[in-house]
Amino acid sequence: MKNNLTDKVALVTGSGQNLGRHLAVSLAKKGARVAVHYHHSRDEAEKTLSLIKKSSTGDIFQADLSQEKEVALLFRNIRQKLGPVDILVNLIGNFIYLPFSETTFAKFKDVIESNLYSTFLCCREVLPYMKMKKWGRIINFGCVTADSLTVRKNTTPYYIAKTGVIMLTKVLAYEYAKFAITVNSVSPGILKTSVAKPPTPSGGYAQFEDIENAINFILSPASGYLNGANIEVAGGWRPGIE
């Protein structure tokens, strides 16, 4: 019996370690051929690939996803080695926790580009091929309450970027639904690897398996009509009410 993602090519951006590694290995266990992306951490990406090869096939690919030419080359290399991407998980994105008065332009620019530019550029690369196949799954990463106007003094650039990601998710879902392509977002709460760890209602933090479960739900054949949704995996936590 085939795994449910056999014959699919999946890319998880930022899959050298932590949540990205966990999701890449999870997709491999379901039969997908997995492209492991990294920017600087090649050694960590190699470790991810070794785990993937216990279940499936894959390769590692390097790129700065905020740079248009590097993104185009990345996807060209993936197509040559594994085939066109069927499942894109846009996980990569830098975080910031600083008062706005201490936020330099370089830091502001980095957070916007690594979260929003990277998502836009990667989606733009995969959509023409998904359109030709008349099937595709894109999962973008937002954050809790980014689908509403949220003002946070220490994470302002991050929320600006993630709100943009969710807006992009919804417009792409609308535009490409007729090609059997779904575009959804997952918005984690406080992860065990998060930089800031405010108290949560449950007293605990989201585990990688919790995020994996949300992605499995989106990728399930029964979820084909789920499109343009933002799934919060936060255990009831909301910023600003702790």
- Tens digit of each residue's pLDDT (9 = 90 or more) over 45-98: 999 999 999 999 999 999 999 999 999 999 999 999 999 999 999 999 999 888
Confidence category of residue 100, pLDDT binned at 50, 70, 90: confident
**Bigger pLDDT: 194 vs 24:** 24
pLDDT at site 195: 78
pTM of the model: 0.95
The whole-angstrom distance between residue 64's C-alpha and the CA centroid of its chain comes to: 15
Mean pLDDT score, 195-205: 87
Q: Residues 234, 236, 239, 242: is their CA dihedral positive or negative?
A: negative
Mean pLDDT score, 174-188: 98
Residue 230 parent element (H or E) = strand 230-233
> Is a pLDDT exceeding 80 seen at residue 196?
no
| CA–CA dist 103, 16 (Å, integer) | 27
Average pLDDT, rounded, for the chain: 94
Q: Which residues are part of the catalytic machinery?
A: 158
Confidence category of residue 1, pLDDT binned at 50, 70, 90: very low
Mean pLDDT score, 202-217: 95
In this structure, of 3-7, 104-108, 135-139, the range with the lowest mean pLDDT score is: 3-7
| CA–CA dist 138, 167 (Å, integer) | 14
> Is a pLDDT exceeding 80 seen at residue 240?
no
Tokens of 117: 């530019």
- Choose among 219, 117, 232: nearest CA to 165: 117
Assigned architecture for domain 9-233 = 3-Layer(aba) Sandwich (3.40)
Q: Where exactly are the structural domains of the chain?
A: 9-233
pLDDT at site 193: 85
Contact of 210 with 233, CB cutoff 8 Å: yes
Tell me the CA end-to-end span of the chain in Å, nearest whole number.
Answer: 47
Mean pLDDT score, 211-236: 97
